[in-house]
Amino acid sequence: MQTIKPGLTKLSDALDIAFSEVAVSNRIETRPLTECYGAVLREDVIATVSVPSVDNSAMDGYAMRLADLQAAAGSISVAGVSLAGHPFVGDVPSGQAVRIATGAAIPDGADCVIIQENVTANDDETIIEIGEDVVGRTRLHQNIRWAGEDIKSGDVVLTAGSVLRPQDIAIAAGQGRGTLTVAKPLSVAVFSTGDELAKPGDPLPAGGIYDSNRFAMIGMLKDYGCEVTDLGLLADDFDVLSNALGKASKTHDVIMTSGGVSVGKADLLKPVVDKLGEITAWKLAIKPGKPLMRGRIGDCLVIGLPGNPVSVLVSGLLFVMPLLRHAMGAKPSQTAPVRMPVKAGFEFSRMAGRREWLRARLVRNDDGVFEAVAFSSTSSGMLSSMVWAEGLIEIAEDCTQVRKGDDVMYLPLRGLQ
């Protein structure tokens, strides 16, 4: 039985609740194919043409009847040529072959294709010689691709809710589609809080740090196809935050920030959202990223991430981005991170109570087997660890120890972005 610390919510439960409470946006738009990469498809794409459209050759060679090949004395005359887009017209004459290119239509009457490497042609390619060994191993329908073998007219080739990849755009293009109906991007206002923060490019004051979290948030949001408004740095001041959030909530679908969501004196985001709207969830049983807030001001979703940079990235990738993709109509399989079992190449112990993600990468051990190694520190303030990492190791709430060689779950960062 999993042990969850009192007052904290499991990530899976928090996502289930958030998915049920955050409605899928009904705003859609039609875009040209070249502007659909990474967008969420909001229609099923039905095939209107079969692929291939005709029976065609899988190889360059010669199309003929198998019976004619088996009856020939080794020499066969060539009746013509079939090229892609320029088919041979009529039936293959009895006892003859047709020179054929890859992708070209199979001539009527032909029922096999002999690849060109297995024949010897005379200088003008009007006669070919085929050895007995080739005749013996040639089979009916060899090297023929059938009409509709890939796609049949009427098939659903893409389903609504798919996040469109290059291959998805290609299959739509192959059906003659010039446009697709996709989710309109969510508009997201982003800012950071903290009087200790300085804008990159400005002089760094004593005791200050440069703001990096805002750039991580903007990058994640753009990767997920959101339209981002950068509100910059906002002071740790109740009135400043109230005015900024109040205005942004009227013109954006989402407000996303980092810092100010814990319980310190300067952590003002929670009371500001309490005043302007409502908080529907906060404090997750995760590490890094426990003080993660979800709220609403009017129709605008408000997400407050922790202030530590690793917490911003981990909680953003595992909670916020799946939620926003859900809001754009992505199907469940497109919101869940990729998880794969690997062997641990490290030792780790801790107290139970929160689901934890260790920064990790895969390396090949002395036996040639890939195993996961963890970063040397679990500090959520070490942004360099996320630059080093290629993935995350997931530690379940009730797990207190990982030994070298144990099975662990690995989440590639590329599967989260």
- pLDDT digit string, tens, across residues 119-164: 999 988 889 999 988 999 999 999 999 999 999 999 999 999 999 9
Q: What is the mean pLDDT of residues 252-258?
A: 95
Do 91 and 22 belong together in one domain? no
Peptide bond between residue 332 and the one before it cis (omega within 30 degrees of 0) = no
Q: Which long-range contacts (CB under 8 A, 24 or more apart) does 261-265 make?
A: 261/291, 261/292, 261/293, 261/304, 261/305, 261/306, 261/307, 262/291, 262/306, 262/307, 263/291
**What is the Cα–Cα distance from 75 to 325, expressed in whole angstroms?**
63
Phi then psi for residue 251, to 5 deg, are: -125, 5
At 262 the pLDDT is 56
At 377 the pLDDT is 94
Do 269 and 176 belong together in one domain? no
**Tens-digit pLDDT profile for residues 16-32:** 999 999 999 999 999 99
**What is the Cα–Cα distance from 381 to 375, expressed in whole angstroms?**
13
CATH number (domain holding residue 112): 2.170.190.11
327: left (phi over 0), alpha (psi -120 to 50) or beta: alpha
**Tens-digit pLDDT profile for residues 313-344:** 999 999 999 999 999 999 998 898 899 999 99
Do 291 and 211 belong together in one domain? yes
Distances (CA, A) of 401 to 109, 365, 404, 406: 69, 21, 10, 10
Provide, rounded to the nearest whole percent, the portion of the chain with pLDDT above 90: 80
* Structural domain total, the chain: 4
Q: Is the pLDDT assigned to residue 374 strictly greater than 90?
A: yes
At 259 the pLDDT is 78
Q: Is the pLDDT assigned to residue 2 strictly greater than 70?
A: no
Provide, rounded to the nearest whole percent, the portion of the chain with pLDDT above 70: 96
Q: Is the pLDDT assigned to residue 73 strictly greater than 90?
A: no
Angle ∠(17,23,27) on CA atoms, nearest 5: 155
- 163 bridge partner residues: 40
Do 137 and 204 belong together in one domain? no
Q: Is the pLDDT assigned to residue 43 strictly greater than 60?
A: yes
DSSP characters for 36-87?
Answer: -TTPBB-S-EE-SS-BSSS-EESSSEEEE-HHHHHHS-SEEEEEEEEBTTBP
Do 43 and 173 belong together in one domain? yes
Model confidence at 236, pLDDT cuts 50, 70, 90, reads confident
What is the rounded average pLDDT for all residues in the chain? 92
Residue 311 belongs to what domain range? 11-27+185-334
Collapsed DSSP state (helix, strand, coil) of residue 190: strand
Residue 252 within any structural domain of the chain:
yes
Residue 204 within any structural domain of the chain:
yes
**What is the Cα–Cα distance from 226 to 29, expressed in whole angstroms?**
14
Model confidence at 4, pLDDT cuts 50, 70, 90, reads low
Residue 6 within any structural domain of the chain:
no
Q: What is the mean pLDDT of residues 362-375?
A: 92
Q: What is the mean pLDDT of residues 157-172?
A: 97
Model confidence at 85, pLDDT cuts 50, 70, 90, reads very high
Of the residues 334, 367, 385, which one is the last residue of a structural domain? 334
CATH number (domain holding residue 164): 3.90.105.10
At 266 the pLDDT is 47
Helix ranges (H only) for 107-224 are 132-137, 166-173, 213-223
Do 351 and 386 belong together in one domain? yes
- DSSP assignment letter at 387: H
Distances (CA, A) of 270 to 5, 263, 264, 302: 21, 9, 11, 10
At 6 the pLDDT is 66
Contacts of 297 (CB under 8 A, 6+ apart): 245, 246, 249, 255, 273, 276, 277
Do 103 and 172 belong together in one domain? no
Decide which of 314 and 270 is more confident. 314
Residue 117 within any structural domain of the chain:
yes
Alpha-carbon dihedral sign for residues 61, 64, 66, 67: negative
Do 288 and 209 belong together in one domain? yes
Contacts of 201 (CB under 8 A, 6+ apart): none
**Tens-digit pLDDT profile for residues 276-327:** 999 987 789 999 988 888 999 999 999 999 889 999 999 999 999 999 999 9
Residue 120 within any structural domain of the chain:
yes
Model confidence at 83, pLDDT cuts 50, 70, 90, reads very high
At 5 the pLDDT is 65
Does the model's pTM come out above 0.75?
A: yes
Phi then psi for residue 90, to 5 deg, are: 95, 180
Do 301 and 284 belong together in one domain? yes
CATH number (domain holding residue 309): 3.40.980.10
